[in-house]
Structure 1
Amino acid sequence: MLRRCFLSCCLLMVCTVIILFPYRAYAEDPLSEETRKLLEKSLSIVEIDREIKKTEGLKTQAQSKLDMLSGELEAKQAQISASQSQTDDRIRAYYMGEREDLLGALLSTESISDFISVLDIIDMIFERDRDILNDYQEAYRNLMDTRDKQSQLLAELTELKNNLLLQRERVSELQASVNSSLKGSSDAEKLKALMEEMNAYWNNVGLFEVRRHFKALAEAMVDLPEFLKNNGNSITASGTNYTISIKQEDLNAFLRSENEIFNNFAFTFEDGRIIAEGKRDSLQLRVEGHYTIENEPQNSIQFHVDKLVFNGLVLPDTTCRELEEDFDLGFYPKLIIPLVEANEVTLQKGLLIIKLKLAL
């Protein structure tokens, strides 16, 4: 038991040294601009490689779905062909007046019982006609739906393939640039070690911590409408127009009341952009972004990540887009005031202003 505890402690100490080593080195020997750019490129390669693997997985899934849809399409086309002749016969009967003979037979009956019998037969014939026509229409609709899904999936698959080509080209260019810098460096081995340590820290700690902060922020945004409703000074009305004003200090107080992770994290509103910045232990994070009004799938105010800086290193746009897709950092005006829509959002120094109007 003591031996296992000793080994665990040793392992923890080794991991801690590996993780923190680059940052002690930075403090003792500040990075040159050239080295910082080299580390950024190395980190971008890691992140874009991760995006490539993710995209390859999505491409495989899309291709599998496309193959399945192609099989369904063939089956539906066979079903359409099988029922085509029956449908044509029914339609031809109506256009050629053959169904009028049934009405003639009904009118020529000589007794009530014969009339009812012929009426039942006619009803059965018409019902069968309706069933055949309805089945054909349903099969045709299903065929069109499947074709639409196939077309949409083909477009998505094409986009995924193009994205893969683009990202692979980016990685190739970045790798060539890194190799060139290392080749021309007098201390290439030290730079390689520094890149490996930075990449290991990002993969083992940095990525997890960044996603943890974004997850906490997304969870907090769910409660923001209730906070604004309870804060009487945030909302003003003028006729059918409303204005929501959020001070940066109020937002920071709200976030810290939601999660202690924001105790070392602060939001700053500037003209046209919002900055979130914080530091904890050996991790520094800075997020720059802006808000836009979106009307699809519903009216909302969405946050867009323009820049993500981890320990002084700018991460690639692929990481920004992934965080936007995985975490909803927007909020929805109808949750604050029913029957309204946001039509303008403005960021000023220290203030976020949202203008709303009644959705008539």
Structure 2
Amino acid sequence: MILTILPLSSTAYLSAGPGPITSSPPIIPDNDETRKLLEQTLSSTEIEKEIGRITAEQAVLERKVEVLNKQAAAKQSAILDQQQRAGAIVRSYYMGERDGLLAAVLSARSIGRMLALYDYYEIIIGRDHDILRQYEGEYKDLKSTLAAAERSSKELAELKTALEEQKTRIAALNEEIEGGISASSDPESMSALLDEFTKYWENIGLHEVKTYFKALSSAMNHLPQFVQSRDGILTRKGMTYNLALKEEDLNEFLVSQNKLFQDFGFHFNNGNVTASGSSGGLTLTLTGHYSIESEPVNALMFHIDNVVFNGLELPESTRQDLEDEFDLGFYPEKIVSFLRATNVESKEGVLYVKLSISF
């Protein structure tokens, strides 16, 4: 799937703060060297955020591991007495020490004495069982705590490795950026452009990107109802349903959901989907693909392969964050609960989805 998204206004951009920002995006010279430096700067900015996230997560895990280890140590200390008592009971049964009690009950010469001895025998046996059950419960609890501490320690070690890798990566990237600045015809101007672009991306650009992703996600959430209400999109043949969504129907649907899409033109080509528009100075190009997934529910999930912002490719971490935050998938069960997607393809202006009945 390829989407090219262009905003409706070139003079007012959304930001995280109150009110519109009227500054235009930085003017980017049209050459490969500058574009590469800007893409590297974007990557550096996003890696810095990733390092911050990993560092915070590492701190949380370190505290968790410390608490779990303390809990395990306390439980190990508390269980020692129970372990000794339980061991003594098991040995007594193994050595036949309880057999004498039972023999005394059976050899009683009167019903009254036999009942008294049997009550005594039941009290001892019941107490033995209570001690063993208590020890078993505390032992399982200790094992669970130790396993949790081990998992957290392993996760912490993996985070530390990831953190070191990101630090090494950003150091090398920043070295390349510094080299590129020095090699440019005007290092001072290049450095200023990179700073300006970084601030623009952090304060405006990323928010704009998320604005369109949020609109698309919201629209996709209502697409099943549109498919159900529009005659001819969904047809049945035996135990199979066929969904044929025409590009003009999709365009009409999107505009009805959000006016942001009124300058869009979505097209279904052989093997991909494209959308394009021309308004303003901000552009966003999204490339991705669909996969049919069964868990946790059957769905056509959209995976982001490439995002280009104002002609610059965004780093992988940003693409993954966008995919995680905004669901652009299509869920057949929202049409009819027993429908399951089995195949998807696009060609000649139509998106085809094959659906089967599954109870």
SS at match of 2:208: helix
Listed as ranges, the matches of 1:171-210 within 5 Å are 171-210=170-209
Task: Output one character per residue of 1:202-235: Cα deviation in whole Å (capped at 9) or x when no partner.
Answer: 1111111222322333333333333333345343
Conserved 8 A contact 1:308-1:314: yes
CA pair 143-246 structure 1, distance change in 2 beyond 3 A: farther
Deviates more, 1:305-314 or 1:270-279: 270-279
- In 2: Cα distance, 1:267 partner to 1:31 partner: 27
Q: What TM-score do the two structures reach when normalised by structure 1?
A: 0.80
SS at match of 1:283: coil
1:228 aligns with 2:231: no
CA RMSD between the two structures: 3.2
- In 2: Cα distance, 1:239 partner to 1:114 partner: 80
Listed as ranges, the matches of 1:173-322 within 5 Å are 173-265=172-264, 267-275=266-274, 281-322=280-321
- In 1: Cα distance, 2:229 partner to 2:125 partner: 64
Q: What TM-score do the two structures reach when normalised by structure 2?
A: 0.80
The answer for the alignment partner of 2:335 in structure 1 is 336
- In 2: Cα distance, 1:255 partner to 1:340 partner: 24
- Amino acid of the residue matched to residue 337 of structure 1? V
- In 1: Cα distance, 2:75 partner to 2:330 partner: 43
SS at match of 2:205: helix
- Amino acid of the residue matched to residue 322 of structure 2? L
The answer for the alignment partner of 1:59 in structure 2 is 58
Task: Output one character per residue of 1:92-111: Cα deviation in whole Å (capped at 9) or x when no partner.
Answer: 34444444445444445566
CA pair 57-273 structure 1, distance change in 2 beyond 3 A: farther
- In 2: Cα distance, 1:256 partner to 1:193 partner: 39
Conserved 8 A contact 1:275-1:286: no
CA pair 84-247 structure 1, distance change in 2 beyond 3 A: farther
The answer for the alignment partner of 1:3 in structure 2 is none
- In 2: Cα distance, 1:273 partner to 1:137 partner: 59
- In 1: Cα distance, 2:277 partner to 2:152 partner: 41
Conserved 8 A contact 1:274-1:289: no
Provide structure 2 residue ranges, at least 5 long, that are not aligned to the other structure.
Answer: 1-16
SS at match of 1:20: coil
Task: Output one character per residue of 1:289-311: Cα deviation in whole Å (capped at 9) or x when no partner.
Answer: 11223344444332211111111
The answer for the alignment partner of 2:24 in structure 1 is 20
- Amino acid of the residue matched to residue 185 of structure 1? S
- In 2: Cα distance, 1:92 partner to 1:163 partner: 51
Conserved 8 A contact 1:273-1:288: no
CA apart distance, 1:319: 0.4
- Amino acid of the residue matched to residue 205 of structure 2? G
1:75 aligns with 2:79: no
- Amino acid of the residue matched to residue 24 of structure 2? L
CA apart distance, 1:327: 2.6
- Amino acid of the residue matched to residue 47 of structure 2? I
Could you say which structure has the greater relative contact order, defined with CA pairs below 8 angstroms and 6 or more residues apart? 2
CA apart distance, 1:266: 5.5
Task: Output one character per residue of 1:41-100: Cα deviation in whole Å (capped at 9) or x when no partner.
Answer: 222211221222122212222222222222222223334433212222333344444444
The answer for the alignment partner of 1:131 in structure 2 is 130
Conserved 8 A contact 1:276-1:288: no
- Amino acid of the residue matched to residue 141 of structure 1? K
CA apart distance, 1:320: 0.6
Deviates more, 1:37-46 or 1:94-103: 94-103
Q: Give the helix-richer structure, 1 or 2.
A: 1
CA pair 74-309 structure 1, distance change in 2 beyond 3 A: same
Conserved 8 A contact 2:25-2:200: no
Task: Output one character per residue of 1:115-143: Cα deviation in whole Å (capped at 9) or x when no partner.
Answer: 65555544444443333333233223323
Deviates more, 1:263-272 or 1:159-168: 263-272
Listed as ranges, the matches of 1:95-134 within 5 Å are 95-108=94-107, 117-134=116-133
Conserved 8 A contact 2:25-2:281: no
CA pair 228-86 structure 1, distance change in 2 beyond 3 A: farther
CA apart distance, 1:315: 0.7
Provide structure 1 residue ranges, at least 5 long, that are not aligned to the other structure.
Answer: 1-11
Q: How many residues of Structure 1 are paired with residues of Structure 2 in the alignment?
A: 341
Deviates more, 1:307-316 or 1:347-356: 347-356
- In 2: Cα distance, 1:123 partner to 1:155 partner: 48
Deviates more, 1:316-325 or 1:298-307: 298-307
Conserved 8 A contact 2:25-2:282: no
